[in-house]
Amino acid sequence: MEPAIAFRDVSYGIRGKEILRHLDLEVAAGETLVLLGRSGSGKTTALRMVNALLTPDAGEVLVDGKSTRAWDPILLRRRIGYVIQEAGLFPHFTVARNVAVVPELAGWEPGRIDARVDELLSRVGLPPGEFRSRYPRELSGGQRQRVGVARALAAEPSLLLMDEPFGALDPVTRRDLQRGFMALRRAWTKTSLFVTHDVREALALGTRIALLHEGRLEIVATPGEFLEAKSGEALIFLAALEDLPEA
């Protein structure tokens, strides 16, 4: 089967600094591939190439078999859900309007949009009656992130990109949202690409983990294989899993 996303020998740099070097990676339809790495490893850069926020300097990124250079970026992005760390909700829109953005852009009729918004808010654990007409500033960080997920899912994208979506949350809320994400994932057939620097999160959420180190792909492994991995960077991440410094 054709991969949902394919990186083909992708390189990218900013002002002479190489961010990604010859990345070759395929994401199969329906899987949750986690891009794991430290800050500056190139994981977010790779993610942002999928919805054409960035274009590779060399090589190409294929989405559904078509290069992002060949896609109309507007059409491509409307097929892809995108969740970022600070949620990026529109502060002047209510929760309902935030969730409705992409369906509105796609020209859905209002009745269908309303029904969809209610369905999604319920699915991410926010009772629509209570949350529909609130503004983002009236929500907690975790609630905002839930709205961000609902918004990304609104127009039934086949592909979901998540850039450290739970990174700015407190540990309890983060666990909550990770559980919610896993529950959602069981119910859908979407492909997702998930960026994190948290090895625990990678092991819990990924069907496969791609470890990036200084712009290079170090290994791609299932969580089970990753635990047994012997490569240098993987060992460093696994060590971080175990030893907590004593206070």
Partner 1 sequence: MPPTLFREILERTGEHVVLVAIALFVAALVGIPAGIALTRKAAWRGVVLGFTNVVQTIPSLALFGFLIPLPFIGGIGRRTAVVALVLYALLPVLRNTLTGILGVDSAVVESAVAMGMTDRQLLWKVELPLAAPTILAGLRIAAVTTIGTATIAAAIGGGGLGVFIFRGLASVDSAQILAGAVPAALLALLADGGLGWIERRFARF
Residue ranges in 124-221 assigned as alpha helix (H): 128-131, 141-153, 171-187, 199-205
Residue list 181-220, contact with partner 1 (CB under 8 A):
none
Cβ neighbours around 114 below 10 Å, total: 16
Determine if 153 is a binding residue for partner 1 (CB under 8 A).
no
Determine if 135 is a binding residue for partner 1 (CB under 8 A).
yes
Nearest to partner 1 of 45, 51 (CB atom) = 51
Residue list 67-126, contact with partner 1 (CB under 8 A):
73-78, 80, 82, 84-92, 101-102, 105
Nearest to partner 1 of 151, 197 (CB atom) = 151
Distance from C-alpha of 94 to C-alpha of 101, rounded to nearest angstrom: 11
| Smallest gap from residue 73 Cβ to partner 1 (A) | 8
Edge to edge, the sheet with strand 5-14 lists: 17-27, 5-14, 58-63, 66-67
Distance from C-alpha of 65 to C-alpha of 23, rounded to nearest angstrom: 17
Residue written as token pair 């959602």: 184
Determine if 8 is a binding residue for partner 1 (CB under 8 A).
no
| Smallest gap from residue 181 Cβ to partner 1 (A) | 18
Interaction site with partner 1 (CB under 8 A): 51, 53, 73-78, 80, 82, 84-92, 101-102, 105, 135, 137, 151, 161
